[in-house]
Amino acid sequence: MGIQGYLIVSTILFGIGAFGFMARRNAILMLISIELMFNAVNLSLVAFNAFLPPDANAGAVFALMIMAVAAAEVTVGLALVIAIIRTRQTPEVDQYSDLKE
Amino acid sequence: MVGGGLAVVTLRNIIHSAVAMMICFGSLAGMYALLGAPIVAAAQVLIYLGAISVLILFAIMLTQAGDANLPAPFHRQLPIAIVVALAIVGLVGWAVVQTDWGLAVEAAGAAVDEIATAIFTEYALPFEIISLLLLVAIIGAIYLARRPEEDERAN
């Protein structure tokens, strides 16, 4: 499989993540979809590093850094979601309508 | 892997979605290994399969009221979401297919010890910044997830 195959898989995964983020109603599932998009970008970075390396280590180091940032993001995101669910008693995002006019 | 990803966003029960996410991340680790990046594959298994999946499963268990009556999984934005997601996939996929990847030949993957040396020499500053970011994230998460009653007791 060439670089195209990996990039297309990554694109499809990113599309699935974007779709899940926009279409699902559960706040935790929206976070999972964000993780899917992170992973898609990570896959494309590692694929570029394997096929068109600017420097043999850059892609792997980038991917590791992105994983660390994603871990930080999901920690804060889940804490926020749990705090919201505790106050609103529902994980459904379309019922969070306090700011609606 | 794509099937796992699709299952994540389409399954009705959110616990099934989380398990599908673990399958998807596991096969991604396999793809990293195929791409000659064993350290990224190992980090994927440790961080995503080990840590983030367990964190998300715990969050689901904490918030799930019981799966007797599962609500409709999709928002009313569903048609727009399908269109936008297909547009993203189509546009990026078209760019990937149109580009001439003639120069792209598979290079040998970097050895684990080389990457470790690079992290602690060339990329030492980002490494330290990320450790600080993780610390801030942990403190922020503890603060956010604290129950309001404890807040009052502390005051």
Tell me how close the Cα of B47 comes to any Cα of chain A, in angstroms: 7
Chain A residues in contact with B84 (beta carbon < 8 A)? 18-19, 22
The shortest CB-CB distance from B89 to any of A15, A79, A82 is to: A15
Chain Cα centroid distance, residue B135: 19
Q: What is the pLDDT of residues B40-55, one digit of tens each?
A: 888 888 888 888 888 8
Q: Nearest 5°: CA angle at A87, between A81 and A93?
A: 50
What pLDDT, on a 0 to 100 scale, did the predictor assign at position B20?
A: 83
Between the CA atoms of A69, A74, B9 and A18, what dihedral angle is there, to the nearest 10 degrees?
A: -50
Q: How many CB pairs under 8 A join A and B?
A: 232
ipTM above 0.90, yes or no: no
What pLDDT, on a 0 to 100 scale, did the predictor assign at position A71?
A: 87
Chain A residues in contact with B142 (beta carbon < 8 A)? 79
Nearest to B26 by CA among B5, B10, B57: B5
* Sign of CA pseudo-dihedral B143, B148, B154, B155: positive
A44 vs A11, A37, A61, A94, B146, CA distance in Å?
8, 11, 14, 33, 37
Which residues face A24 on adjacent strands?
A: B74
Tell me how close the Cα of A54 comes to any Cα of chain B, in angstroms: 11
pTM: 0.81
Coil/strand/helix, residue B136: helix
Q: What is the pLDDT of residues A41-88, one digit of tens each?
A: 988 888 888 877 667 677 788 888 888 888 888 888 888 888 888 777
